[in-house]
Structure 1
Amino acid sequence: MEYQFKRKPEWLKTKLTVNKNYREIKKMMRGKTLHTVCEEAKCPNIHECWAVHRTATFMILGDICTRACRFCAVKTGLPTELDWQEPERVAEAVEQMGLKHTVITSVARDDLQDGGAAIFAATIQAVRKRNPLTSVEVLIPDFKGNWEALKTVMDARPDVLNHNVETVRRRTKKVRSKATYDRSLELLRKAKEFQPDIPTKSSLMIGVGEEWDEILETMDDLREVDCNIMTIGQYLQPTKKHLNLVKYYTPQEFAQLKEEGMRRGFDHVESGPLVRSSYHAREQVEAAQGRIQQAKAQ
């Protein structure tokens, strides 16, 4: 039976650190009129990432999403923003923060013919031009299955292409809005078809009513489309209006899932209660690259 707002276990409690780094990043984001998924999606790791590591995940194409996924705290409605100067401001912020690896995501923009793919490509190019030593990871929506839009992004050659399946096949219709499980898998497959050497990545949030075997089946499906990196984290219900939490998984269960994923051949699996798609993203990529190099040397 589903329930709302069960008391958080100790392993999900985070320290709210507000220091000079945190205040500087917040001031910079407001000054450059930039959005972050850290704030908009109420990420539990914002204080660690901003205050301790000075990292943030940029959210382009505005802060209003055309979809209303039941797990997500981002505002939904009809967007009005399409800012072609935004890519340059993101590139400036990356430079100002001194990032060696940056993650760029967006709201879903089903109101645009290309879903915002051109802005994604322009942002990749702007970041590269101003920060040639910074690796760029993009976390993209499904573009409603518009593979030309996907090709636009892949032609800009991000260092990592990330697209989240979010949940297991059986729970997709209940959890996601307008997205389908098979379309997400096809996007990851197509991304490799367009640029075989660019690593792909996907994320699964658990605790929304899935079974253990279904999690393992999702891993198998992702490996079937040659997905390289997988992240697994605990769903946290943002408000009473959002999808009900069904289960808190223990750190031991997350460790088991990491083992299961690595056994299936992922280059890296980041699995833990507070893991989110872009959490420790640079470390994820470095770990995956290390594993690939080790395999080549053998």
Structure 2
Amino acid sequence: MKPKVKSPLIPEVFQIKKLLRSLNLHTVCEEANCPNIGDCFSRKTATFMIMGDVCTRNCPYCNVNHGKPNPLDPNEPENIATAVKKLGLKHVVITSVDRDDLPDGGASHFAEVIKKVRELNPNTTVEVLIPDFKGNLDALKIVVEANPDVINHNIETVKELYRKVRPQGNYERSLNIIKAVKKLNGNIVTKSGFMVGLGETKEQIVQLLIDLKESDCEVVTIGQYLQPSKNHLPVEKYYTEEEFKEFESIGYRIGFKEVFSGILVRSSFHAGEVFEKVKS
């Protein structure tokens, strides 16, 4: 059964939206129509989306706008750092649209944001949710050398559905990005996430978990795909909380340090709490 969620009309939600607009910032919470926006905004947390709100890719499951992006905002790194400070965040998640139009896919911009956040918020832990940079490991190295605490790259779906769900992505390329992080810096926590409900089988889900673990992924998130609009891929199945608990158990048996699995789980949902568990 489709879960029902509603963004609560409470002061905290309006306050954070006002702050974001004043600094010309975007969040994946808003752009991707995340079902947890009310929960996160009410706790004064958000996943910042850098490099604009227009993606160069057009994945049929995603609600983010696609087309020709605007030039990068040189003030964005400083503005992100300011927002983190004003919100008093202990842990911040920074993601982006895909910017295949840029030579390094935006890796240098990611690094600058990480640098500015650390300068203004030395006690805040930093998690980045990165694109695949079209497999460019030199670009990945730029992000790794900025030394975030967590590097997340979402695999999104099982191998067999990649052509339908991520036509401009590549399953092995995404796995290689995750594996390369650990080779470049073994102290960075590696993380990935995927959706279910797009037509995958249980066996394919298990194989995906095995592939992630073999690629040195330490943390995995699993959530229900929800169709953003009638123009997006339809939901093939709504999983029960019991089934998500089973995926969690399988993930732990395979050897992940943390498995966060549930209907409304998204890769950055309660990311700070998940990170604390991994480091404890």
User: Do both share a fold (TM > 0.5)?
Assistant: yes
Whole-angstrom CA distance in 1 between matches of 2:272 and 2:248? 18
1:283-294 to 2 correspondences below 5 Å: 283-290=273-280
Secondary structure at 1:216 match in 2? helix
Give deviations 1:118-155, integer Å, cap 9, x for gaps.
Answer: 01000000000000000000000000111110000000
Whole-angstrom CA distance in 2 between matches of 1:262 and 1:85? 42
Maintained 8 Å contact 2:6/2:35: no
Whole-angstrom CA distance in 2 between matches of 1:137 and 1:252? 29
Give deviations 1:5-44, integer Å, cap 9, x for gaps.
Answer: xxx54xx222431212111100000010000000000000
* Structure 2 residues without counterparts, runs of 5 or longer: none
Secondary structure at 1:110 match in 2? coil
Whole-angstrom CA distance in 1 between matches of 2:96 and 2:167? 15
Secondary structure at 2:220 match in 1? strand
Q: Which runs of 4+ in 1 moved over 6 A?
A: none
Aligned residues: 280
Q: Give the corresponding residue for 1:28.
A: 19
Work out whether 1:59 is the aligned partner of 2:49: yes
Q: Give the corresponding residue for 2:217.
A: 227
1:182-193 to 2 correspondences below 5 Å: 182-193=172-183
How high is the TM-score relative to the length of structure 2? 0.99
Work out whether 1:91 is the aligned partner of 2:81: yes
Maintained 8 Å contact 1:71/1:243: yes
Whole-angstrom CA distance in 2 between matches of 1:15 and 1:76? 26
Give deviations 1:258-278, integer Å, cap 9, x for gaps.
Answer: 010011111100000000010
Note the C-alpha offset of 1:225.
Answer: 1.1
Whole-angstrom CA distance in 1 between matches of 2:8 and 2:70? 34
Q: Give the corresponding residue for 2:92.
A: 102
Q: Give the corresponding residue for 1:5.
A: none
Give deviations 1:80-127, integer Å, cap 9, x for gaps.
Answer: 231121000000000000000000000000000000000100000000
> Which of 168, 176, 198 does residue 208 from structure 1 map onto?
198
Note the C-alpha offset of 1:286.
Answer: 1.2
Q: Give the corresponding residue for 1:249.
A: 239
Q: Give the corresponding residue for 1:152.
A: 142
State the identity as a percent: 53
Whole-angstrom CA distance in 2 between matches of 1:239 and 1:20? 28
Secondary structure at 1:274 match in 2? coil
Note the C-alpha offset of 1:289.
Answer: 1.8
Work out whether 1:13 is the aligned partner of 2:26: no
Q: Give the corresponding residue for 2:39.
A: 48
> Which of 175, 179, 190 does residue 169 from structure 2 map onto?
179
Q: Which amino acid aligns with 1:200?
A: T
Whole-angstrom CA distance in 2 between matches of 1:164 and 1:110? 17
Whole-angstrom CA distance in 2 between matches of 1:208 and 1:195? 34
Note the C-alpha offset of 1:196.
Answer: 1.2
1:72-83 to 2 correspondences below 5 Å: 72-83=62-73
RMSD: 0.8
> Which of 137, 154, 170 does residue 164 from structure 1 map onto?
154
> Which of 226, 240, 261 does residue 236 from structure 1 map onto?
226
Whole-angstrom CA distance in 2 between matches of 1:269 and 1:75? 30
Note the C-alpha offset of 1:62.
Answer: 0.3
Q: Give the corresponding residue for 1:199.
A: 189
Secondary structure at 1:270 match in 2? strand
